[in-house]
Chain A
Amino acid sequence: MQVPAPLEYERATSVDHALGLLERLGSSARLLAGGHSLLPMMKLRLANPEYLIDINDLHGELGYIRMEPAQIRIGAMTRHRELLESDALAEAFPIFRDAERVIADPVVRNRGTLGGSLCQADPSEDLSAVCTTLGASCVIRNRTGERVVTMEEFHRGPYETAVEDGEMLVEIRIPVRGGGSSAYEKVERRAGDWAIVSAGAAVWLDGEVIADARVGLAAVGPNTTGLPAVSEALRGKRPSEDLYERAGALAAENCNPATDMRGSADYKRHLAKELTRRALRRSVARINEGV
């Protein structure tokens, strides 16, 4: 029987209330959102918070997808299912729907949240790879105000984030530009599992040349990995199979996978190359199809 260690349960009724509890309880407390990462870790004693602050009642305050002209703002308590079902989000960034379809299963997606996924800071986690690909920023709030950090700043290492004691992630912001599309490619051992490797891509075209492109990889390093070298290699070029091949090779060179139970480092490098190619190819195809 797997159960968490003894804990004190608190329930927050607003963001301010949650921040007050966090400030009072310090490092002995963890926020409990969907619970589908934290509770399994607590069952295995990989996490042992003394206090859990349930923030599910904050869904009204932090469960939203707001489309603005220059950015999309997504509340940290937005659940996987809501991200999957949002047509507006899928239209702007189809990478979200690609990724959501392969995250866990529909029942788990009813509970898990975007903020919880990012705060888990697992290098194999799909939405972290999506947010890395899209150059998202994270809004962290405490009792005195807010700060905004990049994904690179947000994830400090495996299972470690920039969220300090007394703080919480409240919103994820994704910059919006015209003329682009995106895609997500994942290989896993079985449906709904963590990625062996996955690759996200976002491409923006100016006429027939690539104005900008971004690639993000999961499960090939201590954090999900952005690849500026690939962006540089793609900018100003016309999309072609040769170009995707070169980008894939660069992705494989610029990542740092480890051999583990999910596969060897060599196999993961191969996947990084192939999935980068596929994600770029599909992003460009979607632009051309007007998707």
Chain B
Amino acid sequence: MTVNGEEVTREIEGRLLLIHFLRDHLGLTGTHWGCDTSNCGTCVVWLDGEPVKSCTVLAAMAGGHEVRTVEDLEQDGKLDPVQQGFMECHGLQCGFCTPGMMMTARALLDRNPDPSAQEIREAISGQICRCTGYATIVRSVQWAAAHEAGSRTDETDSPETVATGTAS
């Protein structure tokens, strides 16, 4: 599979979950391992551009596909606006939910550069912040939305939006 743009090849057990592959085999411990039951969302990474809960995906299922983790948000020494937003607006307290929150936020802003607070809350509704810092997380994402004009060039819709073969 490709992880953060780099091709990786490993022999693995069929039952190995993607979260453990990333953390234990590749040393990418930015992605956190939380509830194990696809409830908490701290393990969210991208699979082919879509946020997924990596505790509920087998590593083998990602074979041949593209995985992106929180480590890839920073590009060329420059933090992603989402990361800057979380710093500016105190979007993290204990920091445990933060990697998943930021990966979902990044995907949301790629599809919808100017989301409402309600849309942000919906996007992160499958993720739990046990510090209950949701208000500052929403503000952090809004900060990112307001500060990334001109900093990115890929504001077109993600290709997945046309993946369904809808014909009428």
Contact = CB atoms under 8 A, between A and B. Distances in A.
A3 B20 CA distance: 10
Given A7-B15, A40-B56, A110-B52, A63 B164 contact: yes
A134 B155 CA distance: 39
Interface string A1-38: 11111111101000000000000000000001001100
Nearest to B35: A2
Interface residues of B, number: 34
A106 to B, nearest CB: 6
A88 interface: yes
A107 B168 contact: no
A65 interface: yes
B58 interface: yes
Contacts of A165: none
Contact of A78 (B17, B52, B164): B164
A43 B125 contact: no
Contact of B57 (A43, A75, A111): A111
Given A9-B60, A36-B56, A52 B36 contact: no
A107 B37 contact: no
Contacts of A107: 41, 44, 51-53, 104, 126-127
Given A3-B17, A107-B41, A66 B165 contact: yes
A86 B52 contact: no
Given A36-B38, A88-B166, A88-B168, A106 B122 contact: yes
A104 interface: yes
A67 B123 CA distance: 28
B61 interface: yes
B163 interface: yes
Given A105-B125, A107-B126, A108-B126, A3 B166 contact: no
Interface of B: 13-17, 20, 36-38, 41, 44, 50-53, 56-58, 60-61, 63, 104, 122-123, 125-127, 161, 163-168
